[in-house]
Chains A and B, each alone.
Chain A
Amino acid sequence: MGDTARNPVTWLGSPAFPTAAKTALADDQLRRNLKHATGLIRTKRAGAVAELPDWEQLRLSGEAIKDDVLANLDTYLLRFEESVAARGGTVHWARDAAEANEIVLRLAREAGADEVVKIKSMATMEIGLNEALQAGGVTPIETDLAELIVQLGNDRPSHILVPAIHRNRTEIRDIFKAAMPGTEDLTDEPVELAAAARAFLRRKFLSAKVAVSGANFGVAETGSVVVVESEGNGRMCLTLPETLITVMGIEKLVPTWQDLEVFLQLLPRSSTAERMNPYTSVWTGVTPGDGPRDFHLVLVDNGRTDTLASTVGRQALRCIRCSACLNVCPVYERTGGQAYGSVYPGPIGAILAPQLGGDMHDKHAASLPFASSLCGACFEVCPVRIDIPSVLVHLRAKAVEAKPKYSPEAIGMAAMSWVMAGPRRFRAAQRLAVAGRLLSRGGRIRGLPFPGSKWTDSRDLPAPAKESFSAWWKRTRG
C-alpha cells in the first residue's frame, strides 16, 4: 500500500495539456459534440438558477458550510464514523488509492463476488478502482449509461457529468452493436439505445452480489449517505445486492441533516440544470428488510489532506462535482475533457488534479494550471463559490517553484504556452490580444491576471476581432 505509489488521479503517460489540446482541436466531430452539449447545458442552467430568488444566499451558505467542514474535518469525520457504525455500517480508512483499492477488492472477494455492479463515481475513477478490481479477478460493470458507453467503447470519460459527451448517437449505436448480443437491428434513436442498455443491465442488477458506489454527501450528525442520480441505476446498485461498498472522499461531509437543504438545491440546478434530479437516495447504515445486509464505507484521503494544508488551494475541496464550471469554460469547450489527462477535467480539474497528485515536478500535472485564461466564468457559476482563478494563479507559482532555473519571464511564457505560440511570438502584444478574444466572454476580456497581466496594462481590454480557435491555433502554432 506504500505511500510512494503513484497517485492515479492523472492518467499515466498523458501528454502535457498543450500537446493533448492540439490533438483534440484537430478532431472536428469531438468539437461539434462538445459545443452542442455544453451550449445546451449552459442555457438550461441559467434558467434553472434564475428561478430561485435566493440563489446567491444559497451559494454563500454552501460555501460557508463546506468551509466549516474543512476547518473541523477531524471532528466531523469521527462523528460520521460513529454514526455509521451505530447503524450497522463498517467504516474503513484509506490513506491512498492503493489502500482503498485493496480494501474494496478484499471486501468484494469476501462477499464471494467475481463481478460487481458500479454507480458512476468520481472517487472510484480517481483511485483507478476498475483496473485494480480487474487485476484482482473481479469484473466491474459500470451501470450509468454514459459510463457503459465509455466502458464498452474502451474509451475514457470526458466530462464529470456526461462522460460520453464526446460521442454522438451513431457512434453510441455502433459501440452497443459491437458489445451487446442481440442488438443487430438497433437504430440510433436515443429511446432505443436507452432500452438496449436497460435490458443489458437488468440481468446484471438482479444477479450481482456486490455493488460499489461513490457518495455525493455524507451527513456527520446522522451517518446518512446521499447519492444523487438520474437513471435509477444508482437505486438498483444501492438496493438490490447484499453487500454495498461506498467509496467516499473525506471532504464529502456536511455537518447536519439540515445542511443538506442547501446542497439539494444547489447541486441539481448547477449540474443537470433541473429543479431536482430524477432520483436521490439517502441511507443510513443498514435497514433490516430493505436493501443491503452489509454496508461498508471507505473513507479516502489520497492527496486530500495535502490539499487541505494549502490555505489558498484547500477551497478546491469544497467542490460538489456539479460540472457547471466545465460547461462555461471556453478552454474546455474547445479541447474537451480528455485533453486534461485526468479524472477531473475542466477548471476544477486544473486545480484539483495537480493538488491531489501533489507533484509539481510532474510535467503533465504542472501544465494543468495553465489550461485557463483566468476569465472567471467558472467562479461565477460555482455553487460553492470556489475562486478557481486565484487557485490557478497560486498553482502556477508552485509550478514555477518546482522549476527554479526559469526566470520569471520564462515562467510566464510557459504559463501561457499552450495558448501562445512560443517565446518569440509571445512577446508580441497583438498575439496576446488574439488569445484575449478567444478567452473573453461577452466581447470583453475580464482581465488576464498573472501571468497575462504582466503583458497587459489594462485589465479590461476590448476583445479583438474574431478568429476561430483552430485557424488561430494553426496560424500561430503551425
Chain B
Amino acid sequence: MGDSRDVILARIRGALGDRPDPRPVPREYQRTRDFPSVLDLFAERVADYRAIVHRVTDPVELIRSALAGKRVAVASDAPPEWLVPEVTWLREPLTNADLDACDGVLTGCAVGIAETGTIVLDGGVAQGRRALTLLPDYHLCVVRADQVVGTVPEALARLEPTRPLTFVSGPSATSDIEMDRVEGVHGPRTLEVLIVSQ
C-alpha cells in the first residue's frame, strides 16, 4: 500500500516533466455584493425553495404555534426560552430510532447566505449533531439577523472548515423523475425558517 503511494507520486512527477508553470490564480470575482437588504433577499430566496419563512422579532410565539402538541427533538444546548411547555421536548442523547419517530426538530444555525437562500449548520450552539436535522421529517430553524451574510465567499470566511458542516438550501428535493422537482426524498420534507431581527 505504501508502495502504491510511492508509485502514484512517482507517476505524477513523471507526468509533470514539462514543469507546467500555472499562471497566478486571478480572483476578480466579487467576494461581496451590494444588496439593498441582505435580510429581505435571504427571506425571499429561502422561500424560493418552497421553504416556509417567517420574519419575527421574538421566535417564541412562532415556536409555540408551530410545534404545540408535537414531539420535537432539540440539541442539549438549545436556549431555554425556546422550550415552551406546550411541546414535548426530546433532548439528546437520542437514538436514531427516537429521531426517526419524532415529529420534527428545532435548531439554530451558524450562517445564512442571502444570495443562495442557504442555511449552514456547523454543530455549534443549538444545532446538535448532524443526524438531528436529518432523520425528522420536519425542521424548524431559527436564524438570527446577525448570522446572515450576502454571498458564498462571505459565508465560507465565517465558517470553521474542520467542523462537520451541512449547507441546507430548501427541503430535500429530487429532479430525477422527468426533471420535475419533488420535495422531500430523504431529508426533512418540510423546512420552516424563523428569521429573527429586532
Contacts and interface: CB of A to CB of B under 8 A. Distances in A.
A212 interface: no
B89 to A, nearest CB: 20
Nearest to B96: A206
B60 interface: no
Interface stretch (B64-72, B77-85, B180-188): B180-188
Interface string A241-277: 0000000001000000110111011001000101111
Interface stretch (A287-295, A423-431, A450-458): A287-295
Interface stretch (A36-44, A335-343, A437-445): A36-44
Contact of B161 (A41, A222, A236, A275): A222
Chain A: interface residue count, which band?
Answer: 35 or more
A364 B174 CA distance: 34
B26 interface: yes
Interface string A229-241: 0111101101110
Nearest to B188: A232
B29 A276 contact: no
Contact of A64 (B25, B45, B96, B164): B25
Interface string B115-136: 1111000010000011100100
A77 B117 contact: no
Interface residues of B, number: 72
A193 interface: yes
Contact of A301 (B8, B97, B117, B170): B8
A58 B29 contact: yes
Contacts of A206: 96-97, 100
A193 B178 CA distance: 12
A51 to B, nearest CB: 9
Interface string A136-177: 000000011110010000000000001111001100100000
A74 B12 contact: yes
Contact of B15 (A41, A257, A277, A309): A309
Contacts of A261: 31, 152-153, 156-157
Contacts of B170: 278
A262 B185 contact: no
A67 interface: yes
A278 B182 contact: no
A299 B134 contact: no
The interface residues of chain A, by DSSP majority, are classed as helix
B7 interface: yes
A67 to B, nearest CB: 4
Nearest to A74: B12
Given A36-B179, A71-B21, A279 B29 contact: no
B184 A198 contact: yes
Given A275-B116, A308-B16, A57 B26 contact: yes
B8 A257 contact: no
Contact of B178 (A94, A168, A272, A289): A168
Nearest to A233: B186
Nearest to B7: A95
Contacts of B36: none
A239 B135 CA distance: 10
Nearest to A67: B22
B25 A230 contact: no
Contacts of A92: 1
Contacts of A305: 8, 11-12, 14-15
B31 A162 contact: no
B120 to A, nearest CB: 9
B25 A275 contact: no
Interface in A31-65: 33, 36-37, 40-41, 53-54, 57-58, 60-61, 64-65
A37 B175 CA distance: 10
A277 B13 CA distance: 36
Interface in A193-249: 193-195, 197-198, 201-202, 205-206, 219, 222-224, 230-233, 235-236, 238-240
Contacts of B20: 67, 70-71, 311
Contacts of A64: 22-26
Interface string B126-151: 00011100100000000000000000
Contact of A235 (B23, B130, B163): B130
25 contacts: A33-B178, A41-B179, A65-B25, A71-B16, A71-B21, A144-B176, A162-B176, A163-B176, A165-B179, A198-B184, A219-B161, A231-B174, A232-B188, A233-B186, A235-B134, A258-B156, A258-B157, A261-B156, A262-B29, A278-B171, A279-B187, A281-B167, A282-B165, A282-B167, A308-B12
Given A222-B162, A281-B130, A283-B165, 15 more contacts: A61-B27, A71-B21, A71-B22, A77-B8, A146-B174, A193-B177, A258-B153, A261-B152, A264-B156, A276-B169, A279-B166, A281-B164, A284-B162, A284-B164, A287-B164
Interface of B: 1, 4-5, 7-9, 11-18, 20-31, 45, 48-49, 96-97, 100, 113, 115-118, 123, 129-131, 134, 152-153, 156-157, 161-180, 182, 184-188
Closest CB pairs A-B (n = 6) = A232-B187, A232-B186, A305-B11, A309-B15, A280-B167, A290-B129
